[in-house]
Chain A
Amino acid sequence: MIRLSKSELRLIGIWGILAAITLVSLESIHLKFWDERLQGVAVLILAFIKVRLIMLDFMEIRHAPIALRMIMECWVIIACGGLILLLFNVFG
Chain B
Amino acid sequence: MATPRRVPGEDGIWVLICGDMFVFTLFFMTFLYYRGLEPAVFITSQLKLNRGFGLANTFLLLTSSLFVAAATQRVRNGGANPRWLFLAAMVCGFGFVGNKAVEYGEKFHAGITLLTNDFFMLYFVFTGIHLMHVLIGLAVLAYLQKSCTKPNAATTGLVWIECGALFWHLVDLLWVVLFALFYLLR
Query: Is the interface on chain B under 10, 10 to 19, 20 to 34, or 35 or more residues?
Result: 35 or more
Q: Given the known inter-chain contacts A11-B69, A25-B184, please indicate yes or no for A19 contacting B62, CB distance below 8 A.
A: yes
Looking at B96-104, B114-122, B171-179, the stretch in contact with chain A turns out to be B171-179
Which residues of the other chain, B, contact A25 by a CB distance below 8 angstroms? 180, 184
Contact of B184 among A5, A28, A71, A89 (CB under 8 A): A28
Contact yes or no, B51 A66, CB < 8 A: no
- The reply on A57 being an interface residue by CB < 8 A is yes
Contact yes or no, B65 A58, CB < 8 A: yes
Per the 8 Å Cβ criterion, residues 65-92 of A in contact with B are: 65-66, 68, 71, 75, 79, 82-83, 86-87, 89, 91-92
- The reply on B36 being an interface residue by CB < 8 A is yes
Q: How far is the CB of A48 from chain B (nearest CB, A)?
A: 8
Contact yes or no, A63 B79, CB < 8 A: no
Which residues of the other chain, B, contact A68 by a CB distance below 8 angstroms? 7, 14
- The reply on B166 being an interface residue by CB < 8 A is yes
Interface centre among A8, A57, A66, by most chain B C-beta atoms within 10 angstroms, is A8
Q: How far is the CA of A54 from the CA of B73 in the complex (A)?
A: 15
Closest to B80 in A: A3
Contact yes or no, B32 A54, CB < 8 A: no
Q: Given the known inter-chain contacts A11-B69, A22-B59, A51-B173, please indicate yes or no for A64 contacting B8, CB distance below 8 A.
A: yes
Q: How far is the CB of B122 from chain A (nearest CB, A)?
A: 13
> Which residues does B use to contact A, with CB under 8 Å?
3-8, 14, 18, 21, 25, 28-29, 32-33, 36-37, 51, 55, 58-59, 62-63, 65-66, 68-70, 73, 77, 79, 166, 169-170, 172-173, 176-177, 179-180, 184-186
